[in-house]
Structure 1
Amino acid sequence: MPTKFDSDAIGMLLTDVSRLLRGAFDRKVNAMELGITPGEARALIQVAATEGIKQAEIATRMGIEPMTLSAYLDRLEAMGFVARVPDPADRRAKNVVVTDSADPLLSELTGGLHEMMNAYTEGLGDEGRELLRANLKILRANLRRLDPCLARREKGAAE
C-alpha cells in the first residue's frame, strides 16, 4: 500500500493556499479593470514594496524569469508607472522605482486587495490575522536564513 502524505501538513497547506490565493489575485485584478495585467500588478506591487530594487532581485522575489519581468516593466514604464534609474553602487545595473503617476493605481489596487484578503481571512478576527501575519514573517525569515542559495545571495548583497 502506498504511503499517504498528510494534505494538512504545513508545507502542503501553504502550497495549496498560495496557489489558490494567486488565482484569486488574478481574478480580482482582472475584475477591477485597472488597465494592467495581474503579472504587471504583481511587478508593480514588488517595486512599490521594495523601492529602488534591481530588476534581477524583483524577478527572484516573484519567482519568474528576468525576461518576463522585463516585459512587465516595459509596459509599466510605457504607462508611466515605473522608471528604471541607474544604481548608484553599480553603473551597469538599473534599479526600478515607482513614479508619482502610479499612486492612484496603487491606491485602488491596495483597496481592492485589502477587501479581497478581508473576505479570505473572515473568521480569523483581528487577533488571528495578526498572529497569522507574525507567524508567516517568522517562517519567511527562517526560509531566507536557512536556504543556502538565499543566504549566499543576501551575504553578497550586504558586502
Structure 2
Amino acid sequence: MPTKLESETIGMLLTDVSRLLRGAFDRKVNAMDLGITPGEARTLIQVALTEGIKQAEIATRMGIEPMTLSAYLDRLEAMELVARLPDPADRRAKNVVITDKADPLLSELMAGLREMMNAYTAGLDEAAREMLRGNLRILRENLRRLDPCVAGKEKGAKE
C-alpha cells in the first residue's frame, strides 16, 4: 500500500500559500496595468527594500538567476525607475537604487498589494496578523541560521 503523506504540515502549508500568493501577486500586478511585469514589480519592490545593495545580492534575495534580474533591471532602468551606480568598494559591481520617478508607481503598486493582502487575511484580526508575521520571522531566521546553503548566500545581508 502506498505511503500516505500528511498534507497539513507547516512546510506543505507554506509551500501552498507561497504558490497561491505568487499567482495572486502576478494577477494583481497584471490587472493594475502599471506598465511593468510581475517580475519587474517584484524587482522594484526588492530594490526599494534593499536600496543600494549589489545586483548579485538582489538576485539571491529574490531566488532568481543574476541574468534574469539583469533583464528586469535593464527594463526598469530604461523606464528610469531604477539606476545602477558603481559600488565604491568594488568597481566591478553595481549597486541599484530607486529613482524619484519610481515613487508614484511604487505607491500605487503597494496600495494595490495592501488591498489584496487585506482580502486574503480577512478573518485574522490585527493581533493574529502580527502573531503570524512574528512566527514567520522566526521561521525565516531559523532557516537562515540552520541552512548552510542559505547562510552562505545571505552572509552579511540584512532586512
Give the Cα–Cα distance (whole angstroms) in 1 for the partners of residues 17 and 45 of structure 2. Answer: 20
Give the Cα–Cα distance (whole angstroms) in 1 for the partners of residues 156 and 125 of structure 2. Answer: 40
Aligned to 1:72: 72
Using the size of structure 2 for normalisation, the TM-score is 0.95
Give the Cα–Cα distance (whole angstroms) in 2 for the partners of residues 157 and 13 of structure 1. Answer: 27
Give the Cα–Cα distance (whole angstroms) in 1 for the partners of residues 137 and 30 of structure 2. Answer: 28
- Partner AA of 1:16 in structure 2: D
Structure 1 residue matching 2:83: 3-state secondary structure = strand
Contact 2:60 2:154 in 1 (8 A): no
Give the Cα–Cα distance (whole angstroms) in 2 for the partners of residues 152 and 144 of structure 1. Answer: 9
Give the Cα–Cα distance (whole angstroms) in 2 for the partners of residues 150 and 89 of structure 1. Answer: 24
Structure 2 residue matching 1:123: 3-state secondary structure = coil
Aligned to 1:127: 127
Aligned to 1:149: 149
Aligned to 1:57: 57
Quote how far apart the aligned CAs of 1:150 are: 2.5
Quote how far apart the aligned CAs of 1:91 are: 1.2
Using the size of structure 1 for normalisation, the TM-score is 0.95
- Partner AA of 2:20 in structure 1: L
Aligned to 1:107: 107
Q: Higher helix share goes to which structure? A: 1
Query: 1:64-95 deviations in whole A, cap 9, x for unaligned?
Result: 11111101000000001000011121111001
Give the Cα–Cα distance (whole angstroms) in 1 for the partners of residues 117 and 63 of structure 2. Answer: 22
Q: Which runs of 5+ in 1 are unaligned?
A: none
Which of 33-42 and 57-66 deviates more?
A: 57-66
Contact 2:73 2:82 in 1 (8 A): yes
> Is the alpha carbon distance of 1:123 and 1:157 closer, same or farther for their aligned partners in structure 2, counting shifts above 3 Å?
closer
Give the Cα–Cα distance (whole angstroms) in 2 for the partners of residues 71 and 134 of structure 1. Answer: 34
For this pair of structures, how many residues does the alignment match?
158
Quote how far apart the aligned CAs of 1:3 are: 1.3
- Partner AA of 1:5 in structure 2: L
| Identical positions, percent | 82
Contact 2:60 2:153 in 1 (8 A): no
